[in-house]
Amino acid sequence: MLKQRIITALILAPLALCAILFLPLWSFEILIAFVIGLGAWEWSSMSGITRTFTKVSYAALVTSICLAFSFLLPVDMIWYQGQLNSLYTYTLSIASIWWMISLAMIIAYPNYSSTWFESKSLRGIFGLLTLIPTWVAVVSLRTSLYDVDPFYGASLIFYVLGIVWAADIGAFFVGVKFGKHKLRPRVSPGKTLEGLMGGIFASSAIIAFAALHYHVDPSRIWLHVVIGALTVGVSALGDLNESMFKRCAGIKDSGTLLPGHGGIMDRIDSLTAAFPVFAFCYVTWMA
């Protein structure tokens, strides 16, 4: 298993790096839509859908919506005079509301879950609210200030990836060593409050470095720290959200597309929350 994980990571990491840095923006949009479509295929299983035709249809729907965004709004119109297009802004706002609702669902679980648990359609809608804003957020960040610095948006994506991955590593080691207080044992027994705090602490170095790298006004550093910590905290919410839906569907992994890692959603679950919330904060207070 470990060997498979390492081999898969060694193959995917350079591909992801090259895609973020060097793909033309329209190709980048299509690639991210394809990845989101694979995530939608797996989400259909977490929604309780078993028929292959229905799963393909759901994945095609999610992918088509992402591509429709791309068709309706060319890359040079996503940002105008430093402002994100209103369609994308509204989508990120809806995503932020969805993650607050998701938090309430996780806190209450399994109480009050019978309504959405028994509805495949409702769980499918939750998938739309999770996956489509992720595409919007990644594209919004990648295209930010592209005419000024083609790699500025890439650095924002790497920033989110960096703090989330640092948080995952910190949460794992602190949780294993000191974890005693479970976050939501009925949702994900392995997650602890100590691990979450360890993850936030581990990511603080990257947050501080980014504040210096982007020459943030000293009077606004606190804002960057708060948004960074919020992004890390929300990434844990994304993980718990996927665990909750997998538990409802009675499955351990979201899929088998990534040998040693499980499915696409198992790798991007935390990012589906982190990217939209960070992008919303970036557009609202940092851009």
Q: How many domains does the chain have?
A: 1
CA distance 258 to 262: 5
Q: What is the DSSP letter of 76?
A: G
Beta-carbon neighbour count of residue 83 at 10 Å?
A: 10
Given this model, what pLDDT does residue 39 score?
A: 96
Exposure string (b/e) for 59-77, b if CB count within 10 Å is 16 or more?
bebbbebbbebbeeeebee
Question: What residues make up the domain containing 194?
Answer: 2-286
215: exposed, middle or buried (C-beta count within 10 Å: 0-12, 13-18, 19+)? exposed
Task: Note if the pTM is more than 0.85.
Answer: yes
CA distance 279 to 13: 23
Given this model, what pLDDT does residue 25 score?
A: 97
Distances in whole angstroms, Cα of residue 204 to Cα of each of 22, 228, 229, 272? 28, 8, 8, 21
Given this model, what pLDDT does residue 100 score?
A: 96
Closest CA to 11 of 212, 259, 281, 206: 259
The runs of H, that is alpha helices, within 152-263 are: 152-178, 193-213, 221-249
The runs of H, that is alpha helices, within 23-151 are: 25-46, 52-72, 86-108, 114-117, 120-143
Backbone angles phi, psi at 216, to 5 degrees: -70, 140
Each residue's pLDDT tens digit in the chain (287 positions)?
556 766 777 788 889 999 999 999 999 999 999 999 999 999 999 999 999 999 999 999 999 999 999 999 999 999 998 899 999 999 999 999 999 999 999 999 988 888 888 899 999 999 999 999 999 999 999 999 999 999 999 999 999 999 998 888 888 888 878 878 787 787 877 788 888 888 888 888 788 777 777 767 777 788 888 898 899 989 989 999 999 999 888 898 888 787 766 889 998 999 999 999 999 999 998 76
Closest CA to 279 of 80, 87, 164, 142: 142
